[in-house]
């Protein structure tokens, strides 16, 4: 459901930092929205030095850019909590100041998304959606977070 793409300069983060960022984003998203953690995706995109520009100049220091696509329907307060909690988690895991983390959240309509072979439910309808899935699909999805 939620997909977060974390963009950094190549070799800026080690494997441990990437794991902590992915775990932090997943935890924050799940705690804030109530969505099961096995639905969160975090993808890292590394850009070679000199290929990322801010203000028309090559990025010269370690920034972390998080682009999140989430299902629409969340309240403004929920999204504000999501962003501020994620900011703290990512900055700590990446060992950068909060000013070095930029986060963008985009809403997508649930009925225009398919994951695990099924059209997604509206926010808050995850328990009923999951219960209606075939047992094998539920087991596969839940095994991801085990």
Angle at 136 between CA 131 and CA 140, to 5 degrees: 90
Give the bridge partners for 70, in sequence order: 107
Give the pLDDT confidence of 1-18 residue by residue, as tens digits.
789 999 999 999 999 999
Given this model, what pLDDT does residue 123 score? 82
Domains of the chain: 3-144 (3.30.429.10)
Given this model, what pLDDT does residue 71 score? 87
Is residue 133 scored above 80 in pLDDT?
Answer: yes
Give the pLDDT confidence of 25-75 residue by residue, as tens digits.
999 999 998 888 888 999 999 999 889 888 898 887 789 999 999 988 888
Distances (CA, A) of 119 to 1, 40, 70, 75, 112: 10, 16, 14, 22, 7
Give the global pTM.
Answer: 0.86
């Amino acid at each position: 459901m939620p997909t977060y793409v974390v963009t950094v300069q190549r070799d800026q983060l080690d494997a441990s930092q990437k794991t902590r960022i992915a775990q932090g984003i997943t935890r924050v998203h799940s705690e804030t929205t109530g969505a099961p953690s096995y639905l969160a995706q975090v993808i890292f995109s590394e850009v070679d030095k000199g290929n990322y520009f801010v203000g028309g100049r090559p990025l010269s220091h370690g920034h972390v850019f998080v682009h999140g696509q989430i299902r629409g329907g969340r309240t403004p307060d929920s999204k504000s909590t999501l962003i501020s909690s994620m900011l703290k988690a990512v900055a700590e895991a990446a060992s950068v100041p909060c000013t070095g983390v930029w986060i963008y959240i985009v809403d997508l309509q649930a009925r225009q998304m398919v994951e695990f072979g099924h059209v997604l439910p509206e926010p808050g309808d995850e328990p009923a959606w999951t219960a209606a899935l075939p047992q094998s699909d539920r087991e596969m999805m839940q095994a991801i977070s085990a």
